[in-house]
Amino acid sequence: MPRSTHHPLHNLWRTRSYMRPYAALYVWMILAGVVTTALGVALPLIVQRVVDGPVLHGDDRGLFLLGALALALGLVEALLIFIRRWVQANSALRMETSMRDDLYRHLQSLSVSFHDGWQSGQLLSRATTDLAIIRRFLSFGLIFLVLNTATAITVVALLFDLYWPLALVVAASAGPLFWFSQQFTRRYNAAARLMQDQQGDLATVAEESAGGIRLIKAFGRREHMAEKFTRYARDLHDTAVGKALMVSRTWAKFDAVPNVTLAVVLVGGALAVARDRMTVGELVAFVSLQLMLIWPIDALGYIIANAQEAMTAADRFYEVVDTDPAITDRPGAAVLERGDVGGEVRFDNVRFAYPDAPAEVLRGVDLVVRPGETLAIAGVTGAGKSTLVSLVPRLIDADHGRVLLDGRDVRDVTLESLRTVVAVAFEEPILFSMSVRENLTLGRPDATDAEIDEAIDVVQADFVRTLPWGLDTRVGEQGLSLSGGQRQRLALARAVLTRPKVLVLDDPLSALDVHTEALVERALTRVLTGTTAIIVVHRPSTVALADRVAFLSDGVIAGVGTHSELLATNPSYAAVLSAAADDAGELAGEGAR
Ligand SMILES: Nc1ncnc2c1ncn2[C@@H]1O[C@H](COP(=O)(O)OP(=O)(O)OP(=O)(O)O)[C@@H](O)[C@H]1O
């Protein structure tokens, strides 16, 4: 997958658009953080006053007052920290949700070819792990960065005010810290990116195994799949261990710096007190303030790591979100009115190649499907039949040439209106995890029960009436499992129910037995009156539905005519259909109308 050539921070910076609604909250959070820091910094200064004043001079009342002040400041600080963190987490979770929404909506708008070319696990990991990483950065990483920098600057300024020679030692420790962080950033970036990709790969393997469990069991491949999973999991584990080691080493280095500095400060401070250059209270305050630097320095490692991961996660998020939907409404696209559609479909010198494919699938297809006609598309497997029919509802767009509906380029009408007049049923029918009724009325939510009943009759799907809750039975992945033929019939009923002007059927009866297929065909012939139907066929029995057949070969239409005409005139067609017929033992007696 090509990576962005922008500055590494480019995409992470773009996520600020999701922060915009919370800009005021962020200002408040930072203000609350600054107050918290100020309160935290005030404590060592109070300690200094306590030691140099009441402690050394036996002033009990002053000691009590300073103690009460320290307690109050401590409590206010704790309360502010609670409020800030809660607000931080809350707003960041909202940002994550809206990013996830955008990702999902954009995915829905992307072309079928995009989805075909992407591993589902990679998409899944972007929607889950990556967005959680970005959320952590936008909530904690970013605020930590601002507050810790503010704390460090304030503390160092106060240290200079207390005793500058020792403050210089503390300031100088920024040098090694900067160097370590540079090294860390470089190495961590590669590991973080690799790990995020590996998480996506692992998710894909897990999902494939779940989806293909029957196949795995049937072919006795459980061990093989388990080994594959372990291999991917081990790669991820190795990267994670390497990353953890890198983080631990860096953490140790980051920790060592303030500790070494502290030792120098203790010795130097004691000498300064002995030589009356510092009071005891000032030394105590100096050390207490310096201890306050340990957390920001420690957090630096976390922030760099988190920022690195967030940069990668943002790159991965925008990699999808920036992908051009390719198939969208053209400017000025017209709304197709159902009543105006006659139903002539014309392919005009259509050429098409799949991205990254070595050759064109369609190489100049010219074909006219007359209004109300039922036209079958035949051809050897892989000839491009599904590709050709996918152009009509614009699941893909032609690279060259045009697909015309009643003389109008399908790209000149809105997708929504096009898809209300063109319905599709595929060979591999998908039923969503919802009721049979909802699945059937996907394209016509307003269909009446009588219309649903009629569609069920057409596709011979009586079985739905015997399901436990009839039409309200939940099917799909989270519901009742149906057979391939049952699912095909429901998918066909779904298409029929939209009362389309153009019906595209991509071998929709392949899973039915010959007897049921014949019943469905007979009923379909009735409802197809007045509907232009383009049907991808593999079996001669399905050809019986068609008025004419177009034979697709070598990316062009090699012949159009009735089944008998093509059988008589086109030996290749005869060979393809006879082979299929021999397989099914069913050519005899079949003939197109
Ligand atoms: N999403 C895709 N990306 C790349 N190549 C594809 C894609 N879909 C199909 N192809 C290729 O395009 C060619 C035509 O495929 P298509 O599915 O249109 O053929 P078909 O005639 O419908 O085949 P079948 O009869 O087996 O269903 C095949 O070589 C196939 O491998």
pLDDT tens digits along 523-567:
777 777 788 999 998 777 778 778 999 999 989 999 999 988 988
Query: Is 385 found in the same domain as 263?
Result: no
Q: Which domain holds residue 22?
A: 10-321
Query: Does some domain include residue 40?
Result: yes
Of the segments 164-178, 312-326, 363-377, 571-585, which one has the largest average pLDDT value?
A: 363-377
Select the more confidently predicted residue: 404 or 144. Answer: 404
Phi then psi for residue 417, to 5 deg, are -70, -35
Span from the CA of 387 to the centroid of ligand 1 (angstroms): 6
Q: Of 291, 321, 351, at which residue does a domain stop?
A: 321
Beta strands in 381-492 (DSSP E): 400-405, 408-409, 422-425
Q: What is the pLDDT of residue 102?
A: 95
Tokens linked to 20: 């915009």
At 365, the pLDDT band (50, 70, 90 cuts) reads: very high
Tokens linked to 391: 């152009």
Q: Nearest Cα to 482, choosing from 541, 537, 435, 438?
A: 435
Give the dihedral of Cα atoms 229, 234, 239, 245; nearest 10 deg.
Answer: 150
| ipTM for the assembly | 0.96
Task: Give per-residue burial for 95-132: e unless 16+ CB within 10 Å, then b.
Answer: bbeebbeebeeebeebbebbeeebeebbbbbbbebbbb
Query: Does some domain include residue 547?
Result: yes
Ligand 1 atom with the smallest distance to the CA of 356 is 4
Query: Is 505 found in the same domain as 362?
Result: yes
Query: Does some domain include residue 573?
Result: yes
Q: Is the pLDDT of residue 459 over 50?
A: yes
**Ligand 1 pocket residue status of 386, Cβ below 6 Å:** yes
Query: Is 349 found in the same domain as 314?
Result: no
For the chain, helix (H) and strand (E) counts, in that order, are: 24, 10
Q: Cα angle vertex 110, ends 108, 111, to 5°?
A: 120
Residue type, 246: M
Give the list of residues 6+ apart from residue 251 with CB closer than 8 angstroms, or none.
Answer: 298, 301
Query: Is 237 found in the same domain as 99?
Result: yes
Q: Is the pLDDT of residue 588 over 80?
A: no
Q: Which of 362, 381, 386 to mutate to test the pocket of ligand 1 (most atoms within 8 A of CB)?
A: 386
> What's the pLDDT tens digit per position in 496-518?
888 889 999 888 777 777 777 77
Span from the CA of 385 to the centroid of ligand 1 (angstroms): 8
Q: Of 321, 356, 385, at which residue does a domain stop?
A: 321
Residue nearest to atom 16 of ligand 1 (CA): 384
**Ligand 1 pocket residue status of 113, Cβ below 6 Å:** yes
At 2, the pLDDT band (50, 70, 90 cuts) reads: very low
Segment 448-470 mean pLDDT: 88
Residue nearest to atom 25 of ligand 1 (CA): 381
Query: Is 317 found in the same domain as 348?
Result: no
Query: Is 354 found in the same domain as 276?
Result: no
Q: What is the pLDDT of residue 49?
A: 76
Span from the CA of 383 to the centroid of ligand 1 (angstroms): 7
Cβ distance 63 to 54 under 8 Å? yes
Average pLDDT, the chain: 84
How many domains does the structure of the chain reveal? 2
At 183, the pLDDT band (50, 70, 90 cuts) reads: confident
**Ligand 1 pocket residue status of 37, Cβ below 6 Å:** no
Q: Is the pLDDT of residue 592 over 50?
A: no
At 321, the pLDDT band (50, 70, 90 cuts) reads: very high
Query: Does some domain include residue 478?
Result: no
Query: Is 421 found in the same domain as 296?
Result: no
Q: Which of 113, 356, 377, 387 to mutate to test the pocket of ligand 1 (most atoms within 8 A of CB)?
A: 387
Of the segments 136-145, 353-362, 548-557, which one has the largest average pLDDT value?
A: 548-557
Query: Does some domain include residue 421?
Result: yes
Span from the CA of 349 to the centroid of ligand 1 (angstroms): 19
In whole angstroms, give the CA distance from residue 518 to residue 462: 15
Query: Is 419 found in the same domain as 311?
Result: no
**Ligand 1 pocket residue status of 381, Cβ below 6 Å:** yes
> What's the pLDDT tens digit per position in 97-111?
999 999 999 998 888
Q: Is the pLDDT of residue 353 over 90?
A: yes
Q: What is the pLDDT of residue 516?
A: 77
Query: Is 421 found in the same domain as 289?
Result: no
Query: Does some domain include residue 392?
Result: yes
Query: Is 185 found in the same domain as 293?
Result: yes
At 247, the pLDDT band (50, 70, 90 cuts) reads: confident
Span from the CA of 384 to the centroid of ligand 1 (angstroms): 6
Q: Is the pLDDT of residue 589 over 60?
A: no
Q: Nearest Cα to 93, choosing from 25, 14, 194?
A: 25
Q: Nearest Cα to 132, choosing from 80, 178, 89, 184?
A: 89
Segment 482-504 mean pLDDT: 86
Query: Is 417 found in the same domain as 313?
Result: no
At 89, the pLDDT band (50, 70, 90 cuts) reads: confident
Cβ distance 569 to 586 under 8 Å? no
- CATH at residue 249: 1.20.1560.10
Q: Of 268, 288, 321, at which residue does a domain stop?
A: 321
Q: What is the pLDDT of residue 491?
A: 85
Ligand 1 atom with the smallest distance to the CA of 383 is 21
Span from the CA of 503 to the centroid of ligand 1 (angstroms): 20
At 314, the pLDDT band (50, 70, 90 cuts) reads: very high
Task: Give per-residue burial for 417-448: e unless 16+ CB within 10 Å, then b.
Answer: bbbbbbbbbbbebebeeebbbbbbbbbbeebe
**Ligand 1 pocket residue status of 432, Cβ below 6 Å:** no
Query: Is 305 found in the same domain as 395?
Result: no
Query: Does some domain include residue 450?
Result: no
Q: What is the pLDDT of residue 579?
A: 55
Neighbours of 249 (CB within 10 A): 15
Longest dimension (CA), the chain: 119
Query: Does some domain include residue 334?
Result: no
* Window from 214-218, 373-377, 395-399, 405-409 with minimum mean pLDDT: 214-218
- CATH at residue 519: 3.40.50.300
Segment 171-180 mean pLDDT: 86
Tokens linked to 188: 């961590």
Q: Nearest Cα to 493, choosing from 471, 468, 466, 477?
A: 471
Cβ distance 103 to 321 under 8 Å? yes
Q: Is the pLDDT of residue 593 over 70?
A: no
Q: Is the pLDDT of residue 584 over 60?
A: no
